[in-house]
Structure 1
């Protein structure tokens, strides 16, 4: 369940990053919230990525 929420949050964040690129704005919420702690920000990105891999592998096993 945690992996589901991390992937959802990561996807929304990437959507905002893309939108921010078109609007010439920084809409990266993870960076806005954790920018003062870059190592924590990197851990969040790693956790989101690992969650996506987990979701992909469990999704493929069910099919």
Structure 2
């Protein structure tokens, strides 16, 4: 899987998770990975890095 595609999916997962938290006070990531707090933290870090990557790509106009 390409890194860009993986990054985009992480941003989508993060957005869906925040939508669920806002609407229903339900955190899907914690629900699925709650027993492994280090894994939850890792997912949040990866989602955050993907967001930075996406913001950078938008600001640079996806120039290659």
The 3-state SS of whatever aligns with 1:11 is helix
TM, length-normalised to structure 2? 0.85
1:1-63 mapped onto 2 (5 Å cutoff): 1-21=5-25, 27-62=26-61
Structure 2: stretches of 5+ with no match in the other structure: none
Question: How many pairs align?
Answer: 58
- Structure 2 match to 1:24: none
TM-score (norm 1): 0.86
- Extract structure 1 runs of 4+ deviating beyond 3 A: none
Note the residue ranges of structure 1 that are not aligned, 5 or more in a row.
22-26
How far is the alpha carbon of 1:45 from its aligned partner?
Answer: 0.4
